[in-house]
Amino acid sequence: MGNIFLKTIIIYFFLLVAVRLMGKKEIGQMQPVELVAIIIIADVASVPMQNVGTPIVQGIVPIFALLTVELLLSYLNIKFDFFHKIISGKPSVLISKGKVVQENLKKQRYTIDGLIEQLRMSGYSDIRDVDYAILETSGQMSVIPKANNALNKTSKDYVGYPRIVVMESKIYLENLNALGLNEAWLEKRLKDISLKLKDVFILVVDESGKIFYQKKEENS
């Protein structure tokens, strides 16, 4: 009994450290790779706690291995865009300009009832009040109301759906084209503010053409 108690305490603190290293995220905000890691870690940790004859190292080593893989995948997820799309996917626009994007709804296996339910949970009972609804990679729904909607507290400065156009010096053509813009427009805007593409950490453009940008730290 004492052996099980001691192993449980040790594994508990080891798990606590492992979860802290994985970052501060709520369960609903976890990416699939993080959720899978948590589920497997919980299952592996239970084995030495329940079996007296199982050495504690048989629980700690697999947890350490899973943590290492998860941290490596997280790094690759941040560093390489194509890897991010493979592991985490990308946000899916379910409502665009007030119209339901039926193709994306089918791809995400989302029903109209499910969509309306998510809108209600976000505080929008009428689909006509919604300009954009984006299904994030975490599975949560982000809702952008129309400019004249009472719930839109910033309707005077309404900018629609701002999109990331440049991330770490890489141009996101898909987002640029979705705004009805092209690389020539982007090059001109960068020239206007005396900014080189290689120095851009992030650049966001809204539907009015306004931009927000931040330089890379080493060039700030």
| pLDDT recorded at residue 40 | 77
**In sequence order, what E strands does the chain have?**
92-96, 99-100, 130-135, 141-145, 163-167, 170-171, 200-205, 211-215
| pLDDT recorded at residue 20 | 66
| pLDDT recorded at residue 4 | 64
| pLDDT recorded at residue 32 | 66
∠ CA 42-50-14 to the nearest 5 degrees?
A: 45
| pLDDT recorded at residue 165 | 92
| pLDDT recorded at residue 61 | 81
The rounded distance, in Å, linking the Cα atoms of 77 and 93 is 21
CATH topology of domain 163-219: CRO Repressor (3.30.240)
* Exposed/middle/buried for residue 218 (C-beta within 10 Å: 0-12, 13-18, 19+): exposed
**Phi and psi for 163 in degrees, rounded to 5?**
-125, 145
* Domain edges within the chain: 2-87, 92-157, 163-219
| pLDDT recorded at residue 29 | 58
| pLDDT recorded at residue 82 | 72
Same fold, 92-157 and 163-219: yes
Class of domain 92-157 (CATH, top level): alpha beta
Q: Provide the 3-class DSSP secondary structure of residue 14.
A: helix
| pLDDT recorded at residue 220 | 43
Residues 179, 163: contact at Cβ < 8 Å? Answer: yes
Helices 2-21 and 57-79, axial angle in degrees (round to 10):
10
Average pLDDT by consecutive 10-residue portion of the chain (220 residues)?
66 70 57 72 74 74 79 76 72 88 87 86 83 85 78 57 86 90 93 91 87 76
